[in-house]
Amino acid sequence: MTDDTNGPEGHSSPAEHSTGRTSIAVWIVIAVLAALLVFTATLSVIEWRRAGDLRNSDSRRRSAAATAAQFGTALFTYDYNDLAGAKARVVRLATPAYAKGYDASSAAEQATITKLKARETARASGVFLTDVVKNRVAAVVVLNSSLQSASGNRSSVTYLDVALVRQGGTWKVDAARAVPVSS
């Protein structure tokens, strides 16, 4: 009698056959885990980039809103004793095209402000923005203003429609107009 562990006619034993099945199952589990690792890593990179894009977009919106608020405040804050300073604050936040138009239209207003000895202060109480599209954004700035002049005092709320353009990394006002409000 021979001690043959291969069984009759050279077939492998059940123990060897199950070891082969086990090694295939291990490789399948390793392949599935590797695929999950690749999927998770890819998803992580996509989400990381998306979060960076959202942070960048949010930062640009906050910057645009701050510029719009500063512009509205500068436009509606002046003292008849220092109109050049008030004008400089407005022009600093504007594109060259808007600054040119502002220079042309402000001369007549300056004469009236000086004649009435007017002082106005404004504070932005809200800014509403559209989406930023190709370095452009529109905003509506809500301003609370107080005017003192030789003809009397008044307080008012003004809505300013502003178009901003991103130039050289900063937002500049390219157009602005007061929005008529019914009483």
Residue 127 belongs to a domain with what CATH number?
Answer: 3.10.450.230
pLDDT tens digits for range 150-159: 999 999 999 9
Inter-residue contact 174 to 99 (CB < 8 Å)? no
Q: Is residue 28 one of the residues assigned to a domain?
A: no
Range of the domain at 80: 64-179
Distance, CA of 57 to CA of 44 (rounded, Å):
20
Top pLDDT among 56 and 90 is at 90
pLDDT tens digits for range 86-144: 999 999 999 999 999 988 777 788 889 999 999 999 999 999 999 888 999 999 999 99
The pLDDT of residue 102:
87
Instruction: Say how far residue 173 (Cα) sits from the centre of its chain.
Output: 16
Q: Is residue 164 one of the residues assigned to a domain?
A: yes
How, if at all, do strands 78-79 and 152-167 pair?
A: unpaired
Number of structural domains the chain divides into: 1
Q: Is residue 2 one of the residues assigned to a domain?
A: no
Q: Is residue 102 one of the residues assigned to a domain?
A: yes
Q: Is residue 55 one of the residues assigned to a domain?
A: no
